[in-house]
Amino acid sequence: MAKASAPAKAILVGEHFVVAGCPAIAVALDVRARVEAETLPEGGVVEVESRELGKQTFGAGSLPSSPLYPVYVAVREVLKLAGASIGLKLRIESEIPPAAGMGSSAAVAVAAVAAVAKILGLQLTSEEVSAAAYAAEVQVHGKPSGIDNTVSTLGGAIYYRKTEGFRKLEADFSPIRFILADSGVQRSTGELVSRVLALKARRADILNHVYEAAASLVETARGAIERDDYAALGELMNINHGLLSAIGVSNAKLEELVYAARQAGALGAKITGAGGGGMILALAWREDAERVARALAGISPRVIIAPVSQEGVRIEH
Ligand code: MEV
């Protein structure tokens, strides 16, 4: 038996724009998905079980209709790398709210890859773990940028660009806290990404400027993070929220949450992830975090104060 866990993520700046090749910055959060793997006597089958989604058995020719199928896709990648065809049973337990912008599918895939690699005695690089999880992300989201699986694998703060890969950012996050508040609306990242790309194609003359502004905002945010200038980062998050509204992924509930966080003293607040529902992300000084969380708790079904996880995927003993 082997067990691995991987962290959730929150995108600080650059979601959606990152799909079209702009940079983005995300942090890993200490809210984790755990996957336990054990071998089965029967070769060629992969049984996947989660409390929320039930149990499903996959093998050659399985159809991708089950929500657990992407986990099988990630596992298949590891089996391919190992040249193995053993049977496996995987049990998923996740603290990460699904379909909320916190990268739950990527964290589950990353943890599954690490647990299966461990059971096979296969030493994978971070890039290989992330790439196997990316295959699952393609199943879930259609055209993902790859930022979710990268951050969940590596932990910490990551500057990411599809064409260039990632760079870890050195930052001291101890003076601040991230607060996440759920809009209570689950949504599909894949659908939102397609909707945004369609708008970009239809209004290219206008939206190209918005994408350029987003790219330059992310570069400025990188400087702010490297200088530990959180007042500047908060302001940039607010501007980023405006750009996300411009590409059509905000709604009345998300605006209500964002403004409540700012009024309660957050340095900045914005949609995080695909938008359309899911979570908002607020940044606050450590001593203000409880006040911001209390203001949000009155209007949100779930509020989380999450520290940054410097650690990415890990084997659990
Ligand atoms: C999803 O967490 C973030 C998006 O930018 C999609 C992606 O990067 O694949 C909306």
Region 69-76: mean pLDDT is 97
Determine the angle formed by the axes of helices 126-141 and 189-202, rounding to 10 degrees: 80
Q: Determine the atom of ligand 1 nearest the C-alpha atom of 9.
A: 2
Mean pLDDT of 144-171: 96
Query: Backbone phi, then psi, for 203, in 5-degree steps?
Result: -120, 40
Q: Evaluate: CB of 106 within 6 angstroms of ligand 1.
A: no
Catalytic residue among 148, 172, 182, 229: 148
Q: Given this model, what pLDDT does residue 69 score?
A: 97
Over 90: is that where the pLDDT of 316 sits?
A: yes
Mutate to test the pocket of ligand 1, among 108, 147, 149, 188 (most ligand atoms within 8 A of CB): 147
Contact 137, 315 (CB under 8 A): no
Q: pLDDT tier at 72 (50, 70, 90 boundaries)? A: very high
Is any atom of ligand 1 closer than 6 Å to the C-beta of 145? yes
d(CA 10, CA 269): 12
Average pLDDT of 41-49?
Answer: 95
Ligand 1 atom 2 nearest Cα: 273
- Torsion over CA of 289, 293, 296 and 297, rounded to 10 degrees? -170
Does residue 204 surpass a pLDDT of 90? yes
205 catalytic? Reply is no
> Is residue 143 over pLDDT 90?
no
With contact defined as beta carbons under 8 Å apart, do 20 and 146 qualify?
A: no
Q: Is 279 near ligand 1, meaning CB less than 6 Å away?
A: no
pLDDT of res. 197 = 97
Rounded distance between C-alpha atoms, residue 165 and residue 142, angstroms: 19
Q: Distance between CA 249 and CA 207 in Å, rounded?
A: 14
pLDDT digits (tens, 9 = 90+) for 296-309: 999 999 999 999 99
The rounded percent of the chain whose pLDDT value lies above 70 is 100
HSE-CB for 200 with a 13 A CA cutoff: 18
pLDDT of residue 216: 98
- Residue whose Cα lies nearest atom 10 of ligand 1: it is 274
Q: Average the pLDDT over 157-184 and give the result.
A: 95
Give per-residue pLDDT as tens, 73-95.
Answer: 999 999 999 999 999 999 999 99
CA-CA distances (angstroms) from residue 234 to 12, 28, 151, 239, 265?
Answer: 9, 18, 21, 9, 11
| Average of per-residue pLDDT across 49-53 | 94
Chain mean pLDDT for the chain: 97
Pocket lining: 12 vs ligand 1, CB cutoff 6 Å: no
Does the pTM of the predicted model rise above 0.85? yes
CA of 47 to the centre of ligand 1 (A): 28
Confidence of residue 177 (pLDDT cuts 50, 70, 90): very high
Q: Is the CB of 183 under 6 A from ligand 1?
A: no
